[in-house]
A = this chain, B = another copy of it.
């Protein structure tokens, strides 16, 4: 065993503990595979007294972050505190000290990634962020290396385990969003403040990273149309099922001649597609490349040990490069940072797809004709209709519809008119549909 490479960890929480546990307990196996000796020399956290459930040499624990980012012996700094500050300052300082950085911090990379990648590029250090998307699934490596021969056309992903867990519960048990969220919180699948997960923000962070790598463009969060799952109703999940679909919070990035579409919203996925079979807290990323065709990667998108597995894979990658003097053997951003192109966004209004509508209408003859009339005026043709509850003593009945391919802009214009009709008693529910045609 040749060189010894020291790494320092900032953040000894859930993922930090998983990472430290792997580095400390699997050191021999990992070092043999890496071809160099990887040593966790310092762990920094505010809390260095709580027992993490495995043996940690006391002398490597510190509350002073400078013991990591100012230590000239430490070559790789692992940032696992999350959030924007002080993570960002720590990372930038580490980079300026010529240290390589490994992070799982998708929020930071999605919002301040350009600054960080630019600094890293200038200082000739690497940023490893395998753990930022898909937890333990090696999706970043797959895009940058495994599929290096491909012009990637499509990235679809179930990238948030919490949202997927909630949707799975709603689907399997017919419970409401609120009930499913409560259950997820009790089981530790959702945080006390679940906003980032259920509003699609966390998914947007991840899609920003994936789109940058897949298409070689700079992506800002504002480019991504983002809609969460908080307003989803069991009735729509149940109608979707009747049509042969499951509802997933899907991240969608597609390259077209006239631009790239980037969007996140509840999406009806055909039951027969593998993405529809991704349940509970699992994640999956589905990629289409011009040579490889369709590839799907599936695994745990979060959690102490899966995320630790991804963090350690980055550490090993960088350690190999240090020991072979091959820094930036693979560019952190897929191609050199300064060669990333400006994004040419295909605006949401220009995207096309199929749509599911649930209209709430008064129970009287002629309603369907009126709705269908407005859709027709906007060039939207109907694939199938389900109308239930007719004749019961309800004030309004749901009229459910699947359209053929239509443009978002026309859909929105038609819905605005429809929702102004006197016979329509409530805001129309719209869910976008990935049909087999668009998936395959």
Interface centre among A142, A151, A291, A292 (most CB of B within 10 A): A291
Cβ-closest chain B residue relative to A149:
B312
A310 to B29, CA, bound (A): 27
A232 to chain B, nearest CB (A): 23
Give the interface segment out of A85-93, A301-309, A354-362, A383-391: A301-309
Number of interface residues of A (CB under 8 A): 61
Evaluate contact between B136 and A317: CB separation under 8 angstroms.
no
Contact among B295, B305, B321 for A298, CB-based, below 8 A: B295
Cβ-closest chain B residue relative to A298:
B296
Cβ-closest chain B residue relative to A316:
B148
Cβ-closest chain B residue relative to A272:
B277
Evaluate contact between B145 and A138: CB separation under 8 angstroms.
yes
Give the interface segment out of A30-38, A192-200, A413-421: A30-38
- Total copies of this chain within the assembly: 2
Chain B residues, Cβ within 8 Å of A151 = 26, 29
- Which A residues, 141 to 183, have Cβ-Cβ distances below 8 Å to chain B? 141-142, 144-151
Chain B residues, Cβ within 8 Å of A310 = 146, 292
Q: A148-B313, A326-B326 are in contact. Are A294 and B289 (CB under 8 A)?
A: no
Q: Closest 8 CB pairs between A and B?
A: A138-B146, A149-B312, A326-B326, A324-B326, A136-B292, A291-B309, A296-B298, A295-B299
Q: A136-B292, A294-B299 are in contact. List 20 more A-B contacts (CB 8 A).
A: A26-B149, A26-B151, A30-B149, A35-B331, A35-B336, A136-B291, A136-B293, A138-B147, A146-B313, A149-B313, A277-B277, A290-B305, A291-B306, A292-B300, A293-B303, A294-B300, A295-B298, A295-B299, A320-B330, A321-B324
